[in-house]
């Protein structure tokens, strides 16, 4: 389903393998560079997968982990997690400002469910009461964003025990449902995310 927010199409993909969405990301980014298109925001729930960013130590890599060009280290994507991929030209040529905008977006989504969240100190995530709710990792090519922010909504968190997510103790991971004390669905999270996408794309916090 494709609609639009802030003149940028938004596509809700449902549950998809990471590799298929990764290919779509690269196609959208290529269209921005070649044709000046506004890009697209992809909202997806992934089949279970571990991905490793550029900062992942070689010793942490093993079979079944997908190395990609985003920043950061190993993380997990899976059912019950909403991943937001804003494949768009950066509103400003400032990577730090973009990371802050993604964090602000995650904080705003948490607020939709009555949760007081705070950004990390290094631009890599969003926390509620010291527990990590959202992880951020991007790759910037020709001032076009790839990858984005994954928001844990209602997950089986045991997969995080197989890794040190973003280099952290896996016990630090939580989700919106646990923090809110009630079940929250992916559809609810999508509604909340879409409400705050225009501010993200416009770089309103910069």
d(CA 96, CA 132): 20
What number of other Cβ atoms are within 10 A of residue 158's Cβ?
Answer: 9
Q: DSSP for 140-180, please give it.
A: EETTEEEEEEEEESS--GGGGGGS-GGGS-GGGB--HHHHH
Annotated active-site positions, please?
Answer: 166
Give me the pLDDT at residue 203, please: 73
Give me the pLDDT at residue 206, please: 40
What's the chain's average pLDDT? 93
Give residue 179's domain range: 2-202
pLDDT band at 168 (very low <50, low <70, confident <90, very high): confident
CATH of the domain at 177: 3.30.930.10
Tens digit of pLDDT for each residue in 14-29?
Answer: 999 999 999 999 999 9
Tell the residue number behind the tokens 């995530």, with chain if given.
125
Tens digit of pLDDT for each residue in 73-128?
Answer: 999 999 999 999 999 999 889 999 999 999 999 999 999 999 999 999 877 899 99
Segment 24-41 shows an average pLDDT of 95
d(CA 193, CA 130): 22
pTM for the full model? 0.93
Domain tally, the chain: 1
d(CA 139, CA 90): 11
């Amino acid at each position: 389903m494709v609609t639009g927010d802030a003149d940028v199409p938004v596509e809700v993909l449902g549950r998809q393998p990471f590799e298929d969405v990764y290919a779509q990301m690269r196609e959208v980014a290529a269209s921005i560079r070649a044709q000046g298109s506004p890009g697209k925001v992809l909202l997806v729930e992934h089949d279970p997968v571990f991905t490793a960013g550029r900062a992942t130590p070689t010793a942490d890599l093993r079979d079944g982990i997908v190395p990609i060009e985003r920043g950061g280290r190993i993380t997990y994507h899976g059912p019950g997690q909403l991943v937001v991929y804003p494949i768009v030209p950066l509103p400003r040529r400032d990577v730090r400002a973009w990371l802050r905008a993604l964090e602000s977006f995650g904080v705003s989504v948490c607020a939709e469910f009555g949760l007081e969240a705070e950004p990390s100190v290094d631009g890599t995530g969003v926390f509620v009461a010291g527990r990590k709710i959202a992880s951020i990792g991007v790759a910037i090519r020709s001032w076009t964003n790839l990858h984005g922010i994954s928001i844990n909504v209602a997950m089986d968190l045991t997969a995080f025990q197989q890794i040190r997510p973003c280099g952290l103790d896996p016990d630090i991971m939580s989700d919106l449902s646990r923090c809110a004390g009630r079940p929250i669905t992916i559809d609810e999270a999508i509604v909340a995310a879409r409400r705050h996408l225009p501010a993200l794309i416009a770089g309103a916090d910069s």
